[in-house]
Amino acid sequence: MPQFETHRSVPHTPDQMFDLVADVERYPQFLPLCEALSVKNRKERDGKELLIADMTVGYKAIRETFTTQVLLNRAERVIDVKYIDGPFRYLDNRWRFVEAEGHGCTVDFFIDYEFKSRILGALMGSMFDRAFRMFTEAFEKRAATIYSR
């Protein structure tokens, strides 16, 4: 059951970073391993937005698609991702955007997952681990491109 957690300071506002991570349809443009992402359903509920999304990830000849529920809680600046279907036994992911004193914000990223298949875990596990470690960096680079114009 691999886990990864990081806390990164960035020179952008919490709202800017929330918007960047919430814009899931753009992930294939900049996120490592993400080949496609489609939102199957989108609902507003209690001031929060709930998405059901399919993400296809690939590395060399291996492709896997999985479905997640993404809860966008703008008021609390939190994005929770819960696993629905695909190659994992489970996947939990959380983003939090905390205003920093003076300037910018801290981006808290946490992910915990396990593959259903030991074979798939052996084939993709270390690659997924590296990719998840690169996620926050990919978002930071994307933010610099978009917000530093």
Q: pLDDT tens digit string along 116-147?
A: 888 777 766 667 677 777 888 899 999 999 99
Token pair 């492709």 is found at: 63
% pLDDT > 70, the chain:
94
User: What's the pLDDT at 1?
Assistant: 62
d(CA 77, CA 98): 7
User: What's the pLDDT at 149?
Assistant: 63
Strands of 60-87, DSSP E: 62-73, 78-85
User: What's the pLDDT at 120?
Assistant: 72
Counting DSSP H helices and E strands in the chain, the numbers are 2, 7
Q: Which domains does the chain have, with CATH numbers?
A: 3-147 (3.30.530.20)
pTM: 0.90
Token pair 């993404």 is found at: 70
Predicted confidence band at 31 (pLDDT cuts at 50, 70, 90)? very high
Summarised one tens digit per residue, pLDDT across range 44-68 is 988 899 999 999 988 778 788 999 9
Dihedral angle of Cα 110, 94, 7, 148, to the nearest 10 degrees: 130
C-alpha 118: how far from chain center: 23
User: What's the pLDDT at 64?
Assistant: 85
Cα–Cα distances in angstroms (integers) from residue 75 to residues 14, 18, 44, in the given order: 11, 10, 13
User: What's the pLDDT at 17?
Assistant: 97
